[in-house]
Structure 1
Amino acid sequence: MRFRIFLLLFIFIQASKPKHVIAQVQIQDTISTKLEKDTIHPTQQLYDIVDLFKDINPFKKKDSTVVKSTKRSAITYLPNLNYNPSIGGQIGIKAVGGKILGNEANTAMSIGAAAVSATTRGIIVGYLIHDIYTPGNRWNIKGNMMVAKAVGLDYGMGIGGPLENPTEEELIMNNPERERYVNKFMVYSISERVYKNLFPGAFVGVGFFFEMKRKFETVGSDPGMAPVEIYSRWNGFDATRVNNNGLMLNMQYMTRDNPNSAYKGYYVDLVLRMNQSWMGSAQNAYQLQTDFRKYWQLSTERPNHVLAFWNFGSYNLGGKLPYVDLPGTGKDPYARSGRGYTLGYFKGRSFFYSELEYRFPILRNQFLSGVVFANVQTANDQMGTELFKIWQPAGGAGLRLLFNKATRTNLCIDYAYGRFGQHGLFLGLNEAF
């Protein structure tokens, strides 16, 4: 019981990562029916931050033979901390509660969470989420509600390649000087999904989403010449407000051994998002999202010695998305892609991203480990640049502190470099993928 509480607790810490430079809530699509013994290694010999706090606690009783048995509360409170160049520093409070609705051996814990946070860039977010598993994990119901005051850094559309004889508006959209615009707006969203288990590791699901963005304002542009205003004129959108409502079809297959820090296995997720005008969207649009991850364990004696690969894609199948909803850097469901650039630094109608990361142990008790990573991304635009024509690289390195050994949760401290002078510190819980 205690393991499941901590496992789902830290999964939901990562469910509130920024998207469009806000702490966008996304319910994690990692569903597993494996027993606890199949997903973790013995932890007695490991050392995490909780152990460190116990060792340095000056009020710890050195001689205690009586262990008090106290019943833990079903609701846990914890700080909601994060940092990256897009949002700055984030601080807030999160509350999580859970209950198992079936047999503990084959049923994941159903959980609800609520949080409020603010960042140094003026972003304020509040949300409610739920993740319900019926007995035997036969059905899984996920949903969220969110209200946010958003602040998003904007560098135009495309992948940063040169244009021949651009018009004034195309030059602003292409943004060869990488001038920074700041978009401010309000976000109101609600979504719900239902998954059915087909066989171990495989699920199919359907859902709906309603996302309303209001009170758009761009800082740092001439009147009517901000990228969001130009794109909206080109494509028939209202530059001050937009609805992004529609339906989802999902397919997923997962064999990885842990969602927080996998040592081996696969993760595959396919999502067809269908913006529908009859549901209130400004226009119909069809976007296919693909997520593929593979993990190779390089040592059985040092299990956290891993080579990991990630590919994320978002492909336009028809119709047009609003400017703020275009796929791009850091706009994967958990906003972890593109370390080395701010969120949305590159974006287009379609987007393709790949990353390779080498994870290596430093201390045998896994308290300290390290990573080296490199990534590339490409996007198309509305000015003639095609997908896969121009690639933009980034790379970096980082340290890992074992935050919770039972759930394999790491405190991740990365520094990454991209092109155009982009670089920065990326701090968070759990691996990027």
Structure 2
Amino acid sequence: MKYILKTIFLKNDTLKKNENQSKIAFSLMPAPDLKSAEGGLVVSFVTTFYWDENHENTKMSEVYFTPTTSFTGQYSFPIQSYIYTKDNKYNFIGDYRFMIYPQFTYGLGGNSSKDPQSEVHYQQIRFYQFISRKIIGDFRLGLGFQLDNYKNISEDSEISGPTDFYKYQEGDYSNELSSGIAFQALYDSRKNILNPNQGYYFEADYRINDRGFGSDTNWKSIYIDARKYYSFSETSHRVLATRAFYWAVFDGKPHYLDLPSVGWDRYGKTGRGFTRNRYRSNSLLYLESEYRTDITKNGFLGAVFYANYSSVSNLDTYHFDNWTPAIGTGLRIKWNKINNCNLVLDYGISKDDWTFRVALSENF
């Protein structure tokens, strides 16, 4: 926003060279949620900062707060953090949220229904915290604690027979606590986590939920996120970004709401072109590529073109027989030149579905 005001009112001036070295940068953006007819409001607040004045030795850190509300009673208050200490010795990844979140269910497995089977109402408290230590270069190992608490669960059926939610849960709508430790391997060579134009990102988490950690049920999960960024130009923004994502649960029966689902990765950014929760099962595979380019020479306006391909397995088989593609495009407006933050406006479409996303960071 600061950059936009300077562009308008200080046309003959340029940003000071040392402004890009500011230690802290703030970005704020309220916008309507135009995903569906229900509508709503989303507010994005992003803070980036450095723990050290030497930005070559210490990478950018980020705290992201994105409260949302809808006219159908959805309220979400998530805070997500990605923080490096001096010289990148330690990395802290946090995901904390409180949600009152009625959502539609569409069944389990690759053959889920086009229309909702039911609307599930619940409240959720999440506390995820990872701490990793630098091992060598950009590679690090860490340990985390992950907790999801679901309360006041109920279901309004939209079909005549039993829903997949009811069958999977065996009619049990009681509260559920999932908690356990997680081991993490992380490689991150990106210099800017809001708008990467180079480097690699790889994260692998192995989660163990156990009654010894307070969990109501025992189960395990694997979460793998791999990304690559390639820049075609040193003077303009022309980047090809690719992502492969895999998430699976096994060795136990997690709650329905803990099953992998499109749109429910940690940052909620998989599945452009699909309604969140549209596909759900015990494993999810997601592939995406995006081309990012400038429209104006000064980088104030940009555009993206993307495609993704996703599948959830047949329930309890881990076989991917049904694949669904989506394509889309988006506009970028330079919102804060200090941290290279863009206002993101993305439209995606798939068979029988669509999404419109407004945010202050790239999709991945």
TM range (shorter): 0.7 to 0.9
Q: Does 1:380 align with 2:332?
A: no
Q: Confirm or deny that 1:154 pairs with 2:88.
A: no
Partner of residue 197, structure 1? 134
CA 281–222 in structure 1, closer or farther in 2 if over 3 Å, else same: farther
Q: Are 1:275 and 1:283, in contact at CA under 8 Å, matched by a contact in 2?
A: yes
Aligned pairs (5 A) from 1:26-425: 49-56=1-8, 78-79=28-29, 81=31, 83=33, 85=35, 88-92=39-43, 100=51, 104-105=54-55, 106-107=57-58, 117-126=68-77, 133-160=84-111, 174-175=112-113, 177-221=114-158, 225-233=162-170, 238-302=172-236, 304-382=237-315, 386-419=318-351, 421-425=352-356
Root-mean-square deviation over aligned CA pairs: 3.3
* Equivalent residues of 1:159, 1:392 under 8 A apart: no
Residues of 2 paired with 1:407 and 1:327: CA distance? 32
Residue 426 of structure 1 corresponds to which residue in structure 2? 357
TM-aligned CA distance change 1:79 to 1:153, over 3 Å: same
**2:33 counterpart letter in structure 1:** Y
2:101 aligned counterpart, secondary structure:
strand
User: Quick check: 1:256–1:265 contact (8 Å CA) kept in 2?
Assistant: yes
TM-score relative to the length of structure 1? 0.72
Larger Rg: 1
CA shift in 2, pair 1:81/1:359, >3 Å: same
How far off its partner does 1:339 sit?
0.7
Cα distance in 2, alignment partners of residues 228 and 267 from structure 1: 35
Aligned residue pairs: how many? 354
CA–CA distance in 2 between the matches of 1:211 and 1:383? 22
Indicate conservation of the 8 Å contact 1:103/1:136, yes or no: no
CA contact (8 A) 2:119 2:157 kept: yes
CA–CA distance in structure 1, aligned partners of residues 65 and 358 of structure 2? 22
Going from structure 1 to structure 2, the CA distance change for 1:92 and 1:51 (only over 3 Å counts) comes to closer
Measured at CA, do residues 383 and 313 of structure 1 come closer, stay the same or move farther in structure 2, by a change above 3 Å?
closer
Does the C-alpha gap of structure 1 residues 142 and 403 become closer, same or farther in structure 2, counting only changes over 3 Å? same
Shift of 1:118: 2.7
Partners of 1:140 and 1:195 within 8 A in 2: yes
Go from structure 1 to structure 2 and tell me whether the alpha carbon gap of 1:103 and 1:364 turns closer, same or farther (over 3 Å shift). closer
| Structure-1 separation of matches of 2:284 and 2:228 | 20
Contact 2:27 2:336 in 1 (8 A): no
| Paired AA for residue 268 in structure 1 | F
The letter of the residue matching 1:414 is D
Question: Which structure has more RCO (C-alpha within 8 Å, separation ≥ 6)?
Answer: 1
Secondary structure of 2:251's match?
strand
Contiguous gaps of at least 5 residues in structure 1: 1-48, 64-71, 161-173
How many angstroms does 1:103 deviate by?
6.1
CA contact (8 A) 1:146 1:188 kept: yes
Once the two structures are superposed, residues 122-141 of structure 1 have per-residue CA deviations (whole angstroms, 9 ceiling, x without a partner) of: 22234566666544332234
Q: Distance in 1 between matches of 2:39 and 2:308?
A: 22
- Percent of matched pairs sharing the same residue: 26
Contact 2:305/2:330 (8 A) holds in 1:
yes
Does the CA contact (< 8 Å) of 2:180 and 2:208 recur in 1? yes
CA distance in 1, matches of 2:189, 2:63: 25
Give the unaligned 5+ runs of structure 2.
14-21
Whole-angstrom distance in 1 between the partners of 2:67 and 2:345: 23
The DSSP-based 3-state class of the residue aligned with 2:169 is helix
SS at match of 1:319: coil
Name the CA distance, whole Å, in 1 between partners of 2:83 and 2:240: 33
CA distance in 2, matches of 1:111, 1:297: 23
The 3-state SS of whatever aligns with 1:179 is coil
Task: Tell me by how many angstroms 1:218 deviates.
Answer: 2.0
Query: Counting strand residues as a fraction of each chain, which structure ranks higher?
Result: 2
Q: Secondary structure at the match of 2:6?
A: helix
- CA gap of 1:133–1:366, structure 2 versus 1, over 3 A, is closer
SS at match of 1:239: coil
The answer to whether the 8 Å contact 2:46/2:360 transfers is no
Shift of 1:280: 2.7
